[in-house]
Amino acid sequence: MEKTKTHIAVVSSPWFSNLASSFEFSKRFANLHPNFQLSFFIPILESLPDAFKSILETETLPTNLNPILLPPISKDDMPPNAEPVLQKKLTLIKSLPHIHHILINSLTSNSTHLSALVADPFALEVLDFAKQLKTLTFIYFASSAMALSVFFHLPKLHDMISCEFRDFPKTIRIPGCVQIRGIDLPEPVQDRSSPTDEEFLEMTQRFHSVDGFLVNSFLEMEESTVKAFANEGKGNFPLLYLVGPVAETKYEEKGSSDSKWLRWLEKQPPKSVLYICFGGGGTLSQHQTNELALGLELSGNKFLWVMRAPSNSVNVGLEHADDEDPLKFLPEGFLERTKEQGLVVPLWAPQIPILHHSSIGGFLSHCGWNSVIESVQYGVPIIAWPLFAEQRLNAALVSNGLKVALWPKVNENEIVEREEISKVIKSLMEDEEGKEIYRRMECLKEAAANAVKDDGSSTKAMHEVAMLWKNFRGI
């Protein structure tokens, strides 16, 4: 008689960063536990992102991991002028009937037992199927344990603070977390009158009802947060399993050996180059772009800048990239004056090979959690430049908590001026302060590598989850 396989269904949201992270987790879990069957559901808005297509086309996936591409949702089916956030949410909602149909059909085989539904925080609607399917419910949280703890405390903070969070004058203390300011709380809750604030509160309330969280961090990085979360919850909070660092490690750009950025990096001294990138969708205003360019020039430091065209929005999204040449928005004469100092790459370059390169000595980053994790994995110190979402929380953690980053100061108009940029770059890349940061990051890099070894904390957490899922036989 065929042995029953434990079946896990993982449902991502359409956000590329979440999609890439949860897929990497699924690959790792499938490789560690070949007796499990994983179905990975991919909601699609219009078409699959090119970067994710490359992952599916170039990698050999575990045989027990089945990516399921759901029928694409057309923007024509969206309300007129719908914002990108709403489009993503509606993509997931319109995909639910397809997910439900496949999940029900997957149970018709006697050799398969659906044990758990794992959802992205922005795909929580799928957990409504859990009762019918008699499964456990988990959330794959592609950010830090600190951010998760903050989300759990949001309702209490709403009751405690009457003004807008950004105007709250005191520091906020959450057990086990680095102190933060009101302005450091996630960007969607900064306006109490906005629908997103109410949606986030509803989401965090729903967090209490799941069986557990799979968090893209590792114990040695956030031990105090995890202990405080467990002590404060006293069994009333869901279990946390820190399973990170979850980040792609084998990615190679097609034809990367011929890439201009690689040829340029090969000519630079070890740890001499500052890499600048604001993620797949982060953008700066024209004013801030000018200040950054002139600050780089003023510092005299080597740089590799992956640049997007300026925008009045800090997050235009990967799929909403402007085809317009961003280099024409640089200050007049900048490229000529800095041609021996740096290289500006328009729109996109593969981040992991760059961070892994021996010439990279620092990373000016928007502090998206994927970028933070990749920096830690490759031991690259950070200049924190948060733009949106929970990035200010991440910046507070790496700069004030772990002390592996510097956070530039802004002026009264929320602009980081060229002199401040130059000063921070020199501090990180040349001064004793930067050397101390580098030493701390090296220790964190070693801890990250140890966490995913056979006897590491994150691998043990994966095994604990596997045992729970394997032994579960329905509600």
Classify domain 5-142+210-244+452-471 at the CATH class level: alpha beta
Task: State how far the Cα of 232 lies from the Cα of 228, in Å rounded to an integer.
Answer: 6
Quick: pLDDT tens for 172-204. Answer: 999 999 999 999 999 889 988 888 888 888 998
Quick: pLDDT tens for 280-293. Answer: 889 999 999 999 99
Which residues partner with 6 through β-bridges?
A: 36, 113
Q: What angle (nearest 5°) sits at the alpha carbon of residue 259, between those of residues 255 and 262?
A: 120
Query: For the chain, give me the number of helices (H) and strands (E)?
Result: 16, 13
Superfamily of domain 256-449: Glycogen Phosphorylase B; (3.40.50.2000)
Quick: pLDDT tens for 33-72. Answer: 999 999 999 999 999 988 788 788 877 899 999 999 999 9
Structure tokens at 219: 């114990």
Give the per-residue pLDDT at 287.
97
Give the per-residue pLDDT at 107.
60
Which regions of 228-369 does DSSP assign to beta strands (E)?
Answer: 239-242, 273-277, 302-307, 342-346, 360-365
- The answer to whether residues 190 and 166 touch, using CB atoms and an 8 Å cutoff, is yes
Give the per-residue pLDDT at 280.
81
Q: Which residues, at least 6 apart from 468, have a Cβ–Cβ distance to it below 8 Å?
A: 136, 212
Task: State how far the Cα of 315 lies from the Cα of 465, in Å rounded to an integer.
Answer: 35
Give the per-residue pLDDT at 2.
47
- The answer to whether residues 266 and 393 touch, using CB atoms and an 8 Å cutoff, is no
List helix spans (H) across 108-237: 130-133, 145-160, 195-207, 219-233
Tell me what percent of the residues of the chain surpass a pLDDT of 70. 93
* Residue ranges of the chain with per-residue pLDDT less than 50: 1-2, 253-255, 319-320
Which regions of the chain carry the CATH code 3.40.50.2000?
A: 5-142+210-244+452-471, 256-449
Task: Say which DSSP state 131 is in.
Answer: H
Verdict on whether the full-model pTM lies above 0.85: yes
Structure tokens at 24: 């990497």
